[in-house]
Amino acid sequence: SAVISQKPSRDICQRGTSLTIQCQVDSQVTMMFWYRQQPGQSLTLIATANQGSEATYESGFVIDKFPISRPNLTFSTLTVSNMSPEDSSIYLCSAPKHQFTNEAFFGQGTRLTVV
Amino acid sequence: AQKVTQAQTEISVVEKEDVTLDCVYETRDTTYYLFWYKQPPSGELVFLIRRNSFDEQNEISGRYSWNFQKSTSSFNFTITASQVVDSAVYFCALSEVANAGKSTFGDGTTLTVKP
């Protein structure tokens, strides 16, 4: 079973700056997923990060705003670029526990506040 | 397109009461997975249960039980003899088999259990 470590757990950032969130899985996984949870709302998938290829972004999310790296099968980063207060959210990464069961592990989340 | 509806935004009960959280889903897939997650105030997502579309057997785990009815596209969650520690946001989610870990989440139900 995969365990996911995500950091930082929280940060307060100035508008116009960028923050990179790291996600480490303790076993190799083909796909990793990045979600955003705006205050009081549900989780929305940002993108799917595949090792060795560009991330696949969901509607409403673009690479320039949320660049993603996936250098190997156990690690991924999500950068929130040129931040504004509207980017204040919890960002979570997830990875499947098993390829054929769709059960996913989630990181602890990064609580981002942009001021 | 997949959709998950949790019609109950907030529920408040008194300790020891039973409470049912509703979840209705839409999907064109014949094979899929359904999940319930708990998100306490600390923010992490706690996995509660996974059900695949071929298994309509209801499940009981301690004070928790789940009723999956494919005919009505519902996957309801009941907490028996609720406790204050059950206070959290509960999310129902739907996932395609082909994309392990990629899920569509409902908007969540905030459960408050008062002593």
Cis peptide bond upstream of A8, omega within 30: yes
State the smallest CA–CA distance between residue A103 and chain B in angstroms: 6
CB-nearest to B102 from A45, A101, A111 is A45
% of chain B at pLDDT higher than 90: 66
Q: What is the mean pLDDT of residues B7-19?
A: 97
**What pLDDT digit, counting tens, does each position of B19-61 carry?**
999 999 999 988 898 999 999 988 888 889 888 888 888 888 8
CA A99, A100, A103: angle at the middle one, nearest 5? 75
Q: What is the mean pLDDT of residues A102-111?
A: 84
Q: Does A50 touch chain B (CB under 8 A)?
A: no
pLDDT at A24: 95
Residue B69 has pLDDT above 80, yes or no: yes
**What pLDDT digit, counting tens, does each position of B92-102 carry?**
999 886 666 78
Q: Specify the amino acid at residue B7.
A: A
Q: Does B63 touch chain A (CB under 8 A)?
A: no
